[in-house]
Amino acid sequence: MALAIKAKKSEAERVKRRLCKLGALSSEHRILVYGEWVYFPISKKVDGFEIEDIDMRERENLWIPPIVKIREALAGKIPEPLIALLPDKWESVGDVLILKLPERLKPYEKTIAQAYSKILEMRSVLNDYGGISGEFREPKFDWIYGDKNTETTHLENGIRYTLDPAKV
């Protein structure tokens, strides 16, 4: 059950704009249409509208950012204050993931890498501890999780590259 504002179809667009402006339109449920009525799911009560408590289907296939899924998967597995330190950006080369993990996450790197690997569907996970440097621009990566053979095929602009990101 969810709270919803009931509006006539002829008024639906105006009602929707007002709810959006007030920040009251809920994204957790779909807008439903029954006959001449439109039901807008709301996240908070709004004065001046007819509000009903109705059975609304949760949004199907709602896209959730991967970092949100990763944080949820790691909740309870690593200390809560460290969840905020999880990298929200990463590089992927083929099916190899490259993370820059802060030093404070080092004791939990295998658990973290496993979560990233599963959610992002990667075969191997590397930790970038020093970037790419030196005369020959060599990467400073450590293997953390998955297949130790980090050679992969990367597709970019229709061209397939086979390489090992831990070496190139």
pLDDT, tens only, 83-112? 999 999 999 999 999 999 999 999 999 999
Whether 79 is in a domain gets the answer: yes
The C-alpha atoms of residue 66 and residue 162 are separated, in whole angstroms, by 26
The C-alpha atoms of residue 21 and residue 145 are separated, in whole angstroms, by 46
Is residue 5 within 8 Å of 39, Cβ to Cβ? Answer: yes
* pLDDT for the residue numbered 70: 94
pLDDT over threshold 70, residue 156: yes
Note the pTM of the prediction, 2 decimals.
Answer: 0.64
Domain CATH code at residue 8: 3.30.70.2580
The C-alpha atoms of residue 74 and residue 120 are separated, in whole angstroms, by 14
* pLDDT for the residue numbered 164: 92
Whether 83 is in a domain gets the answer: yes
Q: What is the pLDDT of residues 27-81, one digit of tens each?
A: 788 888 888 888 888 888 888 888 888 776 654 555 678 998 899 899 999 999 9
* pLDDT for the residue numbered 57: 64
Domain CATH code at residue 159: 3.30.300.110
Claim to verify: residue 33 and residue 85 sit in the same structural domain:
no
Structural domain boundaries, residue 26: 2-54
Structural domain total, the chain: 2
* pLDDT for the residue numbered 132: 82
The C-alpha atoms of residue 82 and residue 126 are separated, in whole angstroms, by 19
